A and B are shown apart, each in its own frame.
Chain A
Amino acid sequence: MKRAMMITCLFMLCACGQGEDATNDDNNAGQAETEAVLYENDVFQIEEIDGWSVDEEATAEQEQNVIFSNGTIRLIVSIVSKEQTIDTLKKDVLASFSKKVELIEDDENYIALLTNRKENIRGDVYFHQGAEHQLIFTYMTPEQHYQESKGQINALNESINVF
């Protein structure tokens, strides 16, 4: 009888310990998930990526825009209503750059621009559709650094979740 009691106690202790481990694992996973997010709001989320950071100062003054940076690459994420067509948005983005800007690529949800100045700036603009909003991801980088920036732009593009 005593033996049976001791075995039951040991079994219970082991079970409790495992339960605690499982709870700890859940907590750790949750923390890891929280740590792995670079930025999130109700409309979109960007997973953490080496080199990229949120420009808190510039973003603080904005209501509809969030600014990110990575070396010489800048990313402006703009939240716009669903009322506007992608064509209108494309025109507006094009008009936002300095004059003499050239449209060098035009796909369904993407345009590439290049300013025509002494120091050219390359713009890669992606249009995403959310449930209630549209999102414009405008990457800007000096033309001379564009080739080396491509990888980082693609990496961030793959880490975007739109709600």
Chain B
Amino acid sequence: MEEMPREQQVKFYQKGTYTVGNRLVNAKSRAVQSSITRNNSLTSGHRACQGCGEALGARYAIDAAMRACNNRVMAVNATGCLEVFTTPYPETSWQIPWLHSLFGNAAAVATGVAAATRVKGKPEIRIIAQGGDGGTTDIGFGCLSGMFERNDDVLYICYDNEGYMNTGVQRSSATPPTARTATTPAVGKEPGNVFGTGKNLPRIAMAHGIPYVATASVAALHDLEAKVTKAMSFRGARYIHIQVPCPLGWGSSPASTINVARLSVKCGLFPLFEAERGEVTSSVPIRNPIPVIDFLRTQRRFAHLMKGGEENERKIAKLQAIADENIRRYNLVRKEV
């Protein structure tokens, strides 16, 4: 899948080829987010921080799912930022049927809701489970793996901000190496999160052989919406992993959330790809690749790497090696781009 919709590849749309909408293309080729009638599944008044990437990612994904399923969508939410900032009693920002139970059981609850729709004979109602990286890669991982191996008819969306942000920025198994968090302070011999830890959940999901796995970014809206739409065309267990920068936890400016996500994709640290039944089927080539340092220097969580010295250079080189490995594995830098 290309990041740019096919209709926009014709040579007449140089202006704003990658923008949300574009008055020069037909309405079908514009993003769901450009529509006056988009659902706004997550509406105003929520208590997310300024420039929250997760609030953005959740609206992008659920609005696209609503469009794809004629608004017949129910969501189950793990505990986490997304649950806390959207639904502080007695208010909620959700404009869809939405359920919250515990931190670790979103996948299991969603399995149950999916079973209920089946029993009730309403297969047109589609179930989404969603949570942050904590509720997905750590606390909810057992239930999620079970949902995958049983191939339950649920789309699980992980909004990955690389840490436990609303409890005060603790490390999760999705926190990248060297990143400073409250539990991996930038002190001592090995400042920040250590190399060789953490897990790559999209690849673990692929290993379950489920119908569809994809990664997406708030900086690539057309691609994100296309992947959610595609996921809803499958039955069975599906998984989408969306990177959502957190200005608070990453130490970036609220105004730069999308740009930071873009740099993360452009340097190769966050590859955009999709896989079906365990096999990678496509990836989004990087337009104008950059070295990882251009991404790292936009965030205070990596500020300790910017102080110079051999040790820091070695660490930056190790991060670059991770990016280079992604670029090789997913064929992210191609000649034709």
Query: Do A and B assemble together?
Result: no
* A interface list, Cβ under 8 A from B: none
Residues on B lying within 8 angstroms of A by beta carbon are none
